[in-house]
Amino acid sequence: MTYVLHYAPDNASLIVRLALDHAGLPYQTRLVDRATRAQTSEAYRALNPNGLIPTLETPQGVLFETGAIVLWLADTHGGLGPAPEHAQRGNWLKWLFFVANTLHPALRMTFYPDKYIGDDPRDQARLRRQLQGQLTGHFRNLDAATPDWQCQTPTVLDFYIAACLRWCVLYPEGTDRSWFDLSTYPALHATCLRVESLPACAMLMQAEGLGNTPFTAPRAPTPPQGSAT
Alpha-carbon gap, residue 148 to 226, rounded angstroms: 37
What is the CATH architecture assignment of 89-198? Up-down Bundle (1.20)
Query: Domain limits of the chain?
Result: 89-198
pLDDT of residue 149: 97
pLDDT of residue 181: 97
Q: Which amino acid is at 155?
A: T
Q: Identify whether the C-beta of residue 89 lies closer than 8 Å to the C-beta of residue 151.
A: no
- The CA-to-CA distance between both ends of the chain, in Å, stands at 31
pLDDT of residue 226: 96
The residue among 33, 29, 34 whose CA lies nearest residue 14 is: 29
pLDDT of residue 1: 67
Helix axes 89-98, 156-170, angle to 10 degrees: 30
- As to burial, measured by CB atoms within 10 angstroms (0-12 exposed, 13-18 middle, 19+ buried), residue 128 is buried
Each residue's pLDDT, cut to its tens digit, for the chain (229 residues) gives 689 999 999 999 999 999 999 999 999 999 999 999 999 999 999 999 999 999 999 999 999 999 999 999 999 999 999 999 999 999 999 999 999 999 999 999 999 999 999 999 999 999 999 999 999 999 999 999 999 999 999 999 999 999 999 999 999 998 889 999 999 999 999 999 999 999 999 999 999 999 999 999 999 999 999 999 9
pLDDT of residue 156: 98
